[in-house]
């Protein structure tokens, strides 16, 4: 199923997913349409969005502009969105998807992912959309007791109705993946997880691949994605991943940037990557990762940076400890 280090990954249903895409998290409403348009011009075909990002209307405008100008056809693109945690109940999954499709001006998604493996109490669209972690009344939302099986069965329904070509999950570990596979009639096509040299996750990657599930890695540059959110290292010895000596040395050897090395490391593991950039030159660089390979020794050196360091932990922003141990 997985075409390691290739320009696309063949999903379980036969559709090709580009290996490198543009992640839309934290791209402003004011710029996301132009960034998508520019990314399409330089060769991007995978765009990874979410209801929670709050920019789907504008993202759809960028896609529509490129299609209207004849740069691409809809069938050339691979569009991903995600079900937010307030819409996990069976009766809310399809309306949430339909809202995303309406906002983006699309008839279908190529991939629809359950964003997090926990439910929050429902917030009606007309009260606050997207609700993010708000309960619709200006306070932090709280957990809702919706079994994940109920959510997945509703995801299977929208898949069977042809509204999405693939369904997937995100931010889950091995135990929950085994449980999901025990009842899923439609198996997940993709697992999207935080993955970088400070969080190598060899066992989870191997498990997913053994079950025919593709991996999309997010936060490939580690802490870089979280600096603007106020991330502060808990140790004075912490080194930003993009500035780590090991990554810099390997980048110099290959005459590539540290970012290209980090992306190449993930792609060589058979994973797709979705880095974000507003700079056209860096957009091109992030695509240009197929003309070199890492040596076995370089892979070992990068893997040895592993700290099991999770940056996107819901315990920190909504008090739900999905990674508790």
> Which residues are designated catalytic?
53
Q: What span, in angstroms and rounded, lies between the C-alpha atoms of 143 and 25?
A: 23
Rounded-to-integer distance, Cα 257 and Cα 200, Å: 20
> Length of the chain in residues, anyone?
325
Nearest to 155 by CA among 121, 117, 212, 125: 117
Of 193, 149, 311, residue with least CA distance to 241: 311
Is the CB of residue 66 less than 8 Å from the CB of residue 44?
no
Strands 8-10 and 46-48: unpaired
Beta strands in the chain (DSSP E): 8-10, 16-18, 22-23, 46-48, 78-83, 111-114, 119-120, 143-144, 167-170, 190-194, 214-218, 271-273
**Assigned token pair, 324:** 């508790």
Closest-CA residue to 316 (of 254, 249, 231):
231
Burial class (CB in 10 A: 0-12, 13-18, 19+), 281: exposed
The strand pairing partners of 216, in sequence order, are 192, 272
Torsions phi, psi for 20 (to 5 deg): -115, 125
Closest by CA position to 23, among listed 237, 277, 222, 287 = 277
């Amino acid at each position: 199923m997985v075409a390691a280090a290739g320009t696309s990954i063949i999903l379980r249903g036969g559709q090709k997913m580009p290996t490198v895409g543009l992640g839309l998290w934290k791209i402003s409403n004011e710029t996301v349409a132009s960034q998508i348009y520019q990314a399409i011009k330089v060769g991007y075909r995978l765009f990874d969005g979410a209801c929670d990002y709050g920019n789907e209307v504008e993202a759809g405008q960028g896609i529509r502009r490129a299609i209207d100008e004849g740069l691409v056809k809809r069938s050339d693109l691979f569009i991903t969105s995600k079900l937010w945690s307030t819409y996990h109940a069976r009766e809310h999954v399809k309306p949430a998807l339909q809202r995303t499709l309406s906002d983006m001006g699309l008839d279908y998604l190529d991939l629809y992912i359950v964003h997090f493996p926990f439910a929050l109490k429902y917030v009606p669209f007309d009260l606050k959309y997207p609700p993010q972690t708000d309960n619709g009344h200006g306070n932090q939302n709280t957990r809702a007791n919706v079994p994940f099986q109920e959510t997945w069965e509703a995801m299977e329904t929208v898949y069977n109705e042809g509204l999405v070509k693939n369904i997937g999950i995100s931010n889950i570990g091995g135990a929950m993946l085994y449980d999901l596979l025990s009842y899923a009639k439609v198996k997940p096509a993709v697992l999207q997880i935080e993955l970088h040299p400070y969080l190598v996750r060899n066992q989870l990657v191997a498990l997913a691949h053994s079950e025919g599930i593709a991996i999309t890695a997010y936060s490939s540059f580690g802490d870089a994605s979280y600096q603007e959110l106020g991330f502060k290292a808990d140790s004075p010895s912490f080194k930003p991943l993009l500035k780590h000596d090991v990554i810099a040395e390997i980048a110099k050897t290959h005459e590539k940037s540290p970012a290209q090395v980090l992306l190449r490391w993930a792609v060589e593991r058979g994973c797709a990557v979705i880095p974000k950039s507003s700079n056209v030159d860096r957009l091109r660089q992030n695509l240009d990762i197929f003309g070199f390979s890492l040596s076995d020794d370089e892979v070992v050196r990068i893997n040895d940076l592993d700290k099991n360091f999770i940056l996107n932990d819901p315990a920190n922003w909504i008090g739900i400890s999905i990674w508790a141990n």
